[in-house]
Amino acid sequence: MAITINSKRENDTDQTVFFSIDFDGTKTWHGDIPKDADPQEWFDANEDLIKTQILRKQYPSADVPQLEDKTALESFEAWIAAGCKNAEQTKTITTPAQPAVDAVMGERQKTVESSEEVTTTEIVEVDGKMVQKSVTNTVVTNTPETKEVPLFDEAGEEVGTTTVPVMESYTITPAVESVAEKTETVVTRAESVVEKVAWKDTAE
């Protein structure tokens, strides 16, 4: 990868060098290097770093594993050779166990549903005339249910009857079955191919 120095600019603490790179088509580039460094020597010595930076610009969303036995550039080139794929990512979700919970019951008076036809009279306008007509509707009511039971005096003698409410049980909160601890692995990012984008110098 040929690097040609075009010009440089002295800064307070470093120098900005403008250069051309013959890599994937000739491109212009610029970068800051130490103030006392020789530009050509510095860039020749850091050729792998420059190439890695270019690849990073061409594959900005690349998730490149840094292999222990390879340099950053070699890891990047190995990632490209393997198809430019970002690996699938997963995470493990653990749902804690839940104990069984009994239903909470209550008691209330039963009701009896009944319905009746109720007819009312309405006056409406029909073809410009006021007409009296009957309208029948079904009215549904819920009446508390009662029953008659024997009534006794203090001596235990039956003296008549009395009315008491008919009660029923109902569920306030339903029962909950126990749940065992559950561990599952879910995919948070599917494997994907990273498309190569045109490289542009940061100066553009």
pLDDT digit string, tens, across residues 50-72: 888 888 888 999 999 888 888 99
Query: Is 40 domain-assigned?
Result: yes
Shared domain check, 82 and 50: yes
Q: What pTM value is reported for the model?
A: 0.51
Q: Is the Cβ–Cβ distance between 175 and 105 less than 8 Å?
A: no
Query: Is 198 domain-assigned?
Result: no
Query: Is 203 domain-assigned?
Result: no
- Specify the pLDDT at position 153: 93
How far is it, in rounded angstroms, from Cα 71 to Cα 66?
Answer: 8
Residue 19: pLDDT band with limits 50, 70, 90: confident
Shared domain check, 133 and 67: no
Q: Is the Cβ–Cβ distance between 105 and 172 less than 8 Å?
A: yes
Q: Is the Cβ–Cβ distance between 138 and 72 less than 8 Å?
A: no
Shared domain check, 108 and 73: no
Residue 204: pLDDT band with limits 50, 70, 90: very low
Shared domain check, 88 and 140: no
Pairing of strands 89-95, 104-109: unpaired
Shared domain check, 113 and 86: no
Query: Is 180 domain-assigned?
Result: no
How far is it, in rounded angstroms, from Cα 166 to Cα 145?
Answer: 6
Per-residue tokens: 8:
């440089």
- Specify the pLDDT at position 124: 87
pLDDT at 143 over 70: yes
Shared domain check, 14 and 87: yes
Q: Domain limits at 68?
A: 2-92+189-193
Shared domain check, 125 and 162: yes
